[in-house]
Amino acid sequence: MEERLKPMDAEQLRESAHRMVDFIADYYKSIESFPVLSQVEPGYLRKLLPDSAPDHPESLQQVLEDVQAKILPGVTHWQSPNYFAYYPSNSSIAGFMGEMLSAGLNIVGFSWITSPAATELEIIVLDWLAKLLNLPDDFLSTGPGGGVIQGTASEAVLVVLLAARDKFLSRIGKSSLNKLVVYSSDQTHSALQKACQIGGIYPENCRVLKTDASTNYALSPDLLNEVISQDISTGLVPFLLCATVGTTSSTAVDPLPALATIAKRNGMWFHIDAAYAGSACICPEYRPYIDGVEEADSFNMNAHKWFLTNFDCSALWIKDRKALIQALSTNPEFLKNKASQANMVVDYRDWQIPLGRRFRSLKLWMVLRLYGVQNLQQYIRNHIELARQFEDLVSQDPKFEVVTPRIFSLVCFRLLSPDNDGDKGNKLNRDLLDTVNSTGKIFISHTVLSGTYILRFAIGAPLTEERHVNEAWKVLQDEASKLLATIQNN
């Protein structure tokens, strides 16, 4: 007879988890030996794994051997020190400890009663982070607002849009949905467009305002004013303005104080997306980039990007929590309990899309406690300094140019086309991106600004040091020289 399944036996857990920690620690030790960008072809894994699940148990050893041989080749190593693509997604020992504890307790904290500590720690830790960012007191839990951890910035902007939509519709009538207009720049993350699609905002009422190099790709308040006036004159209702601090393409910073004034004058909800750059604002010298947040209705930053908190952990603060709760709350019999009915507690299920929620605040709490504010500030400053050094290297090479001013830890640059031809220049940089990434030595990504193809070098992986940046630059220079030589020979 087979042994009965024991899915959670403390001693087996101890043994297996120790082995898994060893496996992960060894992974980190050897992380530089893998190609940063996975080099597998689509569908590679189906050829390597059986068609159906095993009838009988296999050992952890067998599974780990498969992870090593079959899974790791299909992993892109976001934690590699040679990872410079998109934006970073930090892992850390503190974040990992929080993640482990969260997985260990495995609570589902949708209402206060389902694990009071989960709700209360989240409130406290988001108040801590709000104070660290010097957010206005209105965002603290002690007032009418408060913070909540969402999975992603996309969920954050979606719940904000739903709250703003319903606040407006309760005033002007449900049949006016077709009148609500959303404003953002063409650099705003596509998460806003998705939120509009889900939230039923009419596609013709989504104003995506053009930006260009004259404002370093920041939203122009004059243009915004003009478009709002036109909309009002045709009977439309401006209801949501989304500004970004640190856009995804080039870290542009929208002029918050001017935009806040416009939003206020027109009675609009003002949301700030600081998903990436928000982390930098824990340093007093970068905090001015979010000046104007005092007038915002909601503010979001991803602790899982550049704040050493393992994915996922997106911090959202809102000034009027009632608006969020009114848009998202339900009250089914099976969830009723004394504390909720008496209105004595926060029930975070009413602040988000799903019902179930993980104990994510543990990660953020661990990061803040195990590292402390000064180390975290130093961590950010170091990456920004490395980016400044990389920017210098690019500027000193006449074959390249820095395209937009570097503000945080992203450098936007390109290889110059020898014959100054725009299309050929775009192809040259596309080719450079492909060849560089296929070396497996580094991974960078791209964007297009005003029709120009641009390479993005984003520093922010926890293991990245000066030597990695210098070596990455050498890879870029070598591959560029090879490409230029083939052009000259043709």
Pick between residue 248 and residue 464 the one whose CB is nearest to ligand PLP: 248
Q: Give the three-class secondary structure for 12.
A: helix
CB of 1 to ligand PLP, least distance (A): 49
The dihedral through the CA atoms of 257, 262, 264, 270 has a sign that is negative
**Facing residues of 314 across strands?**
150, 302
Binding-site member from 250, 314, 404, 447 for ligand PLP (CB under 6 A): 314
Residue in 83, 239, 276, 351 binding ligand PLP, rule: CB under 6 A? 276
Tell me how far, at minimum, the Cβ of 243 lies from ligand PLP, in Å. 11
Among 91, 119, 248, 298, binds ligand PLP (CB under 6 A): 248
- Which range binds ligand PLP by CB under 6 A, 172-180, 232-240, 246-254, 464-472? 246-254
From the list 302, 309, 404, 429, which residue makes contact with ligand PLP (rule: CB under 6 A)?
Answer: 302
Smallest distance, ligand PLP to C-beta of residue 90, A: 13
Please give the residues from 190 up to 229 whose contact with ligand PLP meets the rule CB under 6 A: 191
Among 77, 165, 179, 189, binds ligand PLP (CB under 6 A): 189
**Which residue among 244, 266, 340, 426 contacts ligand PLP (CB under 6 A)?**
244
User: Got the DSSP string for 84-114?
Assistant: -SSS-----HHHHHHHHHHHHH----SSGGG
Nearest to 141 by CA among 163, 119, 123: 123
- CB-nearer residue toward ligand PLP: 76 or 477: 76
Give the C-alpha distances (Å, rounded to integers) separating 193 from 103, 189, 199, 285, 384: 33, 8, 10, 32, 30
Euclidean distance between CA atoms 253 and 246, whole angstroms? 5
- Tell me: does residue 249 bind ligand PLP (CB under 6 A): no
Binding-site size for ligand PLP (CB under 6 A) equals 15
Supply φ then ψ for residue 433, to 5 degrees: -60, -45
Q: Where are the alpha helices (DSSP H) in 266-307?
A: 303-306
Question: What's the angle, vertex CA 248, arms to CA 471 and CA 94, rounded to 5?
Answer: 65
For ligand PLP, give the closer residue by CB, 282 or 316: 316
Q: What are 146's strand-pairing partners? A: 318
Residue 135 vs 480, nearer CB to ligand PLP: 135
Contact of 248 with 234, CB cutoff 8 Å: no
Q: How far is the CB of 302 from ligand PLP (least distance, A)?
A: 5
Q: Given the complex with ligand PLP, which of 275 and 281 has the nearer CB atom? A: 275
Determine the Cα–Cα distance for residues 172 and 418; give it in Å rounded to an integer: 58
The minimum distance between CB 211 and ligand PLP, in angstroms, equals 14
DSSP state for residue 83 in the 8-state scheme: B
- Closer to ligand PLP by Cβ: residue 130 or 313: 313
Interface with ligand PLP (CB under 6 A): 87, 152-154, 189, 191, 244, 246-248, 273, 275-276, 302, 314
